[in-house]
Chain A
Amino acid sequence: MSAVIEARGLVVDRGRRSVLRGVDLALGAGEALSLVGPNAAGKSTLVRALAGLLPAARGEVLLQGRPLAGWARSALAQRVALVAAEDEAPDRIAVGDRVALGRYPHRGALAPMTGEDRTAVARALRQTEIEHLARRPLGTLSAGERQLASLARGLAQEPSVLLLDEPASHLDVRHQLHLFRILDDVRQRGVAVLAVIHDLPRAAAWAPRLALLAEGRIAADGPSAEVLESEAAERAFGVAIRGVPVVDGPERLWRFEEKS
């Protein structure tokens, strides 16, 4: 499978410190990947570097085989969408208008919205199941609905790569399930979906593939259960991790214990 987006020996500095120290990671079309790692491992930095928001000090990020530097900004934003945990949009903006701003990379500053744009916005609202909220001001939404509006903005970009930084961190379990089901739909339509997920069982349950980032490098990358049970994961998180197979399914229950 050829990768849609790929980091090769990616080194990213923040200030004088190298946060990423040679990351190799590739994602194919329609593939879902959970990115996990302890605090300050560089997960957010990696996501932002993949979106072209942070420059590579060494190494490179390839989008459809071409280095990010070779992409025009708008062309890049038509293909890669980033959805962050924090939504800083103004409270008074209507959900539909907020989602429509996702068409900016396609339309630019002056060109009027076309039928194509309206279709994309309507589809994004439908996929995230918030059509009924389209006219509501963002400030009247719950945290879960607000996160869906953020996601809808990303989908309105019609990206081939969707990057999410802790999309579920503010959500209760019902909204989490809802969100990850929507991400599954998106992936099945051929979009490569990479999500930073703090909650390890959730990360393992959502994506078949899991990448562990520790100290600025990919410490493990593979089937979710294998990665979580790996020694690398125990070392990275500093806890004992054990997966208990459930009787009637492929899932596992996870146990975490502090190491004495």
Chain B
Amino acid sequence: MVARLPPSPRAGAGGGAPAERPWSERGRRLLVFAALAAALPLALLAALTLGSVPLPVGGVVRSALARFGLGGPSPLPEMGEVILWSVRFPRVLIAALVGGGLAAVGAALQSLFRNPLADAGLLGVGPGAALGAVLAVNLGWAQHRFLAMPLAACAGALLALLLIYAIAHAGGRPTLSGLLLTGLAVSALAAAGTSVILVAIEEFRVRTVLFWLAGGLEGRGYEHLALAAGFVLPGTLALLLLARPLDVLSLGEEEAAALSLPVHGVRIVVFGLCALVAGPVTAVAGAVPFVGLVAPHALRAVVGPLGRHLLPASFLAGAVLVVVADLAARSLGQYTELPLGSVTAFVGAPYFLLALRGQEGRG
């Protein structure tokens, strides 16, 4: 009998690091959180000051302090005050909420589908939400109730998720390609539905729909901010409370069930929360692809896959990403804004392709 196994020959794999590194992981994690926590206010400040009308950093900070009755009166001219508080402030915060919400949803879906490349956009959530929203406009609900469109977007997103779940899981554990192809099919279906509705839509409603389908954050104000905050913050918090069940679920359906996790119940609740976040986000900002994929995928490597670390880190990183992307969207174009979704896609799509190659390479 073997008394005790010596460390396997592979023990030193991964850069020849010794096995005992008591502080390295926690230290790295703290560093990442500190960096993200510092990056978000910096990105917000940059986005508030930069733009077609640049505002001085000191002026912005003092104007903000003045809002809270601190320091003297705001040094900004009246025009600057208007730009800062009526235009940029809600827009920048919406960008942060959109990015944070999408990234948290992406992290949850990646755990749920046990696939590090799952994302709300690739899983047809966006097109599903779009279909729901356009339907709400077409039927005239959106005119009467402000909440009708985002709620319809939630319903569309949830429907898309459930559909993909049912189809992809029909043959046991879904493979990556199965998942992506199902997402593609459901997206195409939802987009087809949207097109049909667009053709049939009454003319006076077309403007509403086009404004919405174009996406981006141009012209979004406090009502949109309230909408985004009202769904994203509670939804993300609820996902964070489900961090441990998500961790257990990531061990595989059977092991999770053997550990007494109600597998289907958890999945349905997580889907519901993802739709609750992604639906209104899509209703406010249109499609913002790849944020939900890039942020959690990149962070998984540095903070690990546990939900209690990955979800908050993803939220912060996604917020930074979209704040910066929105700043780029309104700064890079000469006379007009670039679509926000295009900016994130320019960054996210190459990342996705590289990550896909990496994953397929590993088999």
Contact = CB atoms under 8 A, between A and B. Distances in A.
Nearest to B24: A135
Interface string A130-161: 00110111001110110000000100010000
A101 B304 contact: no
Contact of B8 (A51, A82, A94, A145): A145
A88 interface: yes
Interface stretch (B72-80, B195-203, B239-247): B239-247
A104 B261 contact: yes
A174 B22 CA distance: 29
A14 B220 CA distance: 55
Interface stretch (A29-37, A69-77, A188-196): A69-77
Given A51-B258, A101-B248, A132 B19 contact: yes
A53 B254 contact: yes
A84 B251 CA distance: 12
B251 A101 contact: yes
Nearest to A51: B258
Interface string A90-109: 10111001100110110001
B88 interface: no
**Best-surrounded residue of B173, B247, B259, B261 (most CB of chain A within 10 A):** B259
B19 A136 contact: yes
B272 to A, nearest CB: 16
Contacts of B53: none
A48 B245 CA distance: 21
Interface string B6-48: 0110110110000111101100000000000000000000000
B330 interface: no
In the complex, which range does the number of interface residues on chain B fall in? 35 or more
Contact of A174 (B5, B7, B300): B5
Contacts of A81: 258
Contacts of A178: 2, 5
B114 A88 contact: yes
Nearest to B253: A88
B141 to A, nearest CB: 36
A228 to B, nearest CB: 22
Contact of A92 (B244, B248, B251, B300): B300
A133 B19 contact: yes
B259 A181 contact: no
Interface in B229-263: 241-242, 244-245, 247-248, 250-252, 254-255, 257-262
B25 A94 contact: yes
B354 interface: no
**Best-surrounded residue of B14, B116, B300, B305 (most CB of chain A within 10 A):** B305
B2 A177 contact: yes
A109 B241 contact: yes
A105 B114 CA distance: 21
A124 B5 CA distance: 16
Given A110-B241, A177-B1, A132 B7 contact: yes
Interface of A: 48, 51, 53, 73-74, 76-77, 81-82, 84, 86, 88-90, 92-94, 97-98, 101-102, 104-105, 109-110, 129, 132-133, 135-137, 140-142, 144-145, 153, 157, 174-175, 177-178, 181
9 closest cross-chain pairs (CB), A and B: A88-B252, A77-B260, A73-B260, A82-B258, A74-B260, A105-B260, A104-B259, A142-B8, A92-B305
Interface of B: 1-2, 4-5, 7-8, 10-11, 13-14, 19-22, 24-25, 114, 116, 173, 241-242, 244-245, 247-248, 250-252, 254-255, 257-262, 300-301, 304-306
